[in-house]
Amino acid sequence: MAMAGLYRRILPSPPAIDFASSEGKQLFVEGIQNGTMEGFFKLISYFQTQSETAYCGLASLSMVLNALAIDPGRKWKGPWRWFDESMLDCCEPLEKVKANGISFGKVACLARCAGAEVVAFHTNQSTVDDFRKYVRACSTSDNCHVISSYHRGTFQQTGTGHFSPIGGYHAERDMALILDVARFKYPPHWVPLSLLWEAMDTVDEATGLQRGFMLISRLQRAPGLLYTLSCKHESWVSIAKYLTEEVPLMLKSDTVKGIEDVISMIFSSLPPNFADFINWVAEVRRQEDASENLSEEERGRLAMKEEVLKQVQETGLYKHVTDLLSVGASICRIKPTLCHMDDLPNIAARVCCQGAGLLAGKTGSSDRFCCRETCVRSYRANGDRTVTVVSGKVVGGNGQQEIDMLVPSLAKNCCNSSLDSCQGMHPDSNDILTALLLALPPETWLGIREEKVLQEIGSLLSTENLPLMLQEEVLHLRNQLLCLKRCNDKVEEDLRAPSL
């Protein structure tokens, strides 16, 4: 009985040369001898096949992130932290990527959200000579990798737009090695670099923009430890626009006479779903995988998060935010959309459901889980420090899971019905809002007309006055905000790293 389907494709050669052919092997050997295959070995160690037909961008990125040994900071399966396509969903819902693929700009956005240093170029922002220099530079190092976005038709291959990493370079023949992540279709192959440039110098019909290439490397500083911005919700575009465009215009008002006016004006006009835009980074684990002892890595990460939180609360800005939100009205009276930022039962239930989805390999599917019960408890881990854990019993999927979430700081035990009475616990809206205000670009405040207020806000918000860990956290958030604003396809023309 015949079975419908396709089994691979014959690689059109020329123009491509199969990596495993005699000629392909010779190019490889000569590339090694000339030192332009250094990046190949890390990439090939993590070479993967895209798991969905439209996941080429996600597969290319997860492969490069793992090759760079960037820690995702959250578990993939079991106890293992590892980048997988299913974890790359902060800039575009996976179901949307599965159906329509992903744009060049959003792959760059994903890489930055994942903690990588990214410099991205559409072909109209670079030249073939510059591209050659970048490919050669990354091919002589294992600290930088190139992902190319190109049109397959230029190589006489079937299909249209595609992403894949470049695994090496042969200088004498000016050929690049494409590690095609659609391995079910074509094997790795060498192509003339000038022809690869032509394939990139095509227009993506979905965005109306030219394709291009991006250089991905490890950040010289650590990514955010405690806070991150999310664009999973469609409202992220309007929120980013509000913070970067509307707030500076609002602050030009003659009614801004003091710091309290500045803070109140920003908080009182926050867009809907703002509380879903900035999140704190949680670490979850199954209770059966856990014990009352923490690993050295878990202790280290928890200690750093607690230090960042402490440094936020020691800023002068934090005191102004706290005073404003406690005088005469709660934060819910200033802006109802922020209420659940301090609703610990809701936070615990949501995070435990998200954790259950992550640990079950179903990222983004927390709505399929229901948290029956939550409890906050503290204990002495490893006999030397108090650790606070939010525990939840989550139902869904294949039954019930018991999930633990490590929390940077909680003051006391409070379970079930008494969970509502837990005060002074992280995450707290005062901490989060303070961090976000610190992360707004410096030009946000330039329209303030009162010179005294402008000087005071400048002193409170200067990153130069912050401790190093908090400074890095704030710069990470600022970088995310600027990148998210430009991740919308309508504004992704300039994707090179923003100035901080």
The CATH number of the domain holding residue 155 is 3.90.70.30
Q: Are residues 369 and 243 in the same domain?
A: yes
pLDDT value at residue 356: 58
Q: Are residues 211 and 237 in the same domain?
A: no
Q: Are residues 381 and 237 in the same domain?
A: yes
pLDDT value at residue 497: 46
pLDDT in tens, 39-64: 999 999 999 999 999 999 999 999 99
Please state the separation of Cα 448 from the chain's center in Å. 32
pLDDT value at residue 296: 74
Q: Which of 156, 183, 218 is the last residue of a domain?
A: 218
The residue whose two tokens read 């704030």 is 474
Whether residue 332 is predicted with pLDDT greater than 60 in this model: the reply is no
Of 464, 306, 492, 272, which is closest to residue 381 (Cα–Cα)? 306
Q: Are residues 155 and 237 in the same domain?
A: no
- Confirm whether 106 is domain-assigned: yes
Angle CA 419–424–426, to nearest 5: 80
- Confirm whether 70 is domain-assigned: yes
Q: How confident is the model at residue 68 (pLDDT cuts 50, 70, 90)?
A: very high
- Confirm whether 337 is domain-assigned: yes
Please answer whether residues 182 and 50 qualify as being in contact, where contact means their C-beta atoms are separated by less than 8 angstroms. Answer: yes
Q: Which of 173, 196, 218 is the last residue of a domain?
A: 218
Mean pLDDT of 123-129: 94
pLDDT value at residue 362: 54
- Confirm whether 37 is domain-assigned: yes
Who wins on pLDDT, 493 or 430? 430
Count of domains observed in the chain: 2
* Residues tagged active-site: 56, 162, 180
pLDDT value at residue 115: 79
Rg (CA), the chain: 25
Prediction pTM value = 0.65
Share of the chain above pLDDT 70, in %: 71
CA dist., res. 213 & res. 131, Å (int) = 8
Helix (H) or strand (E) holding 266: helix 259-268
Q: Are residues 273 and 169 in the same domain?
A: no
Q: Are residues 280 and 365 in the same domain?
A: yes
Whether residue 350 is predicted with pLDDT greater than 80 in this model: the reply is no
Whether residue 1 is predicted with pLDDT greater than 60 in this model: the reply is no
Q: Are residues 214 and 258 in the same domain?
A: no
Q: How confident is the model at residue 327 (pLDDT cuts 50, 70, 90)?
A: low
Q: How confident is the model at residue 303 (pLDDT cuts 50, 70, 90)?
A: confident
Q: Are residues 64 and 213 in the same domain?
A: yes
Lowest-confidence region among 304-313, 331-340, 386-395, 487-496:
487-496
Helix axes 128-139, 38-45, angle to 10 degrees: 70
pLDDT value at residue 188: 96
Whether residue 420 is predicted with pLDDT greater than 60 in this model: the reply is no
Q: How confident is the model at residue 336 (pLDDT cuts 50, 70, 90)?
A: low
pLDDT value at residue 486: 65
DSSP string, 125-176: GS-HHHHHHHHHHHHT-SSEEEEEEEEGGGGT-SSSEEEEEEEEEETTTTEE
- Confirm whether 499 is domain-assigned: no
- Considering 135-139, 386-390, 399-403, the range whose residues carry the highest mean pLDDT is 135-139
Cα dihedral 15/21/23/27 (nearest 10)? 90
Who wins on pLDDT, 1 or 28? 28
Q: Write the CA distances from 250 to 76, 291, 448, 486, integer angstroms.
A: 43, 51, 9, 21
Helix (H) or strand (E) holding 196: helix 193-200
C-beta neighbour count of 175 within 10 angstroms:
24
Domain of 204? 17-218
Whether residue 217 is predicted with pLDDT greater than 90 in this model: the reply is yes
Bond prior to 427 in cis (omega within 30° of 0): yes
Q: Which of 153, 183, 218 is the last residue of a domain?
A: 218
Whether residue 329 is predicted with pLDDT greater than 80 in this model: the reply is no
Mean pLDDT of 239-262: 89
Q: Write the CA distances from 70 to 157, 257, 318, 463, 469, integer angstroms.
A: 33, 45, 31, 25, 19
pLDDT value at residue 344: 55
Whether residue 500 is predicted with pLDDT greater than 60 in this model: the reply is no
pLDDT in tens, 132-178: 999 999 999 989 999 999 999 999 999 999 999 999 999 999 999 99
- Confirm whether 140 is domain-assigned: yes
Q: Are residues 198 and 249 in the same domain?
A: no
pLDDT value at residue 155: 94
Q: Are residues 231 and 342 in the same domain?
A: yes
Bridge partner residues of 161 (DSSP): 151
Mean pLDDT of 312-338: 73
- Considering 123-127, 406-410, 427-431, the range whose residues carry the highest mean pLDDT is 123-127
Share of the chain above pLDDT 90, in %: 37
pLDDT value at residue 252: 92
- Confirm whether 10 is domain-assigned: no
- Confirm whether 421 is domain-assigned: yes
Q: Are residues 290 and 382 in the same domain?
A: yes
Q: How confident is the model at residue 228 (pLDDT cuts 50, 70, 90)?
A: confident
Q: How confident is the model at residue 488 (pLDDT cuts 50, 70, 90)?
A: low
CA dist., res. 486 & res. 422, Å (int) = 39
Give the chain's mean pLDDT. 80
Q: Are residues 269 and 387 in the same domain?
A: yes
Angle CA 158–159–164, to nearest 5: 105
Q: How confident is the model at residue 431 (pLDDT cuts 50, 70, 90)?
A: confident
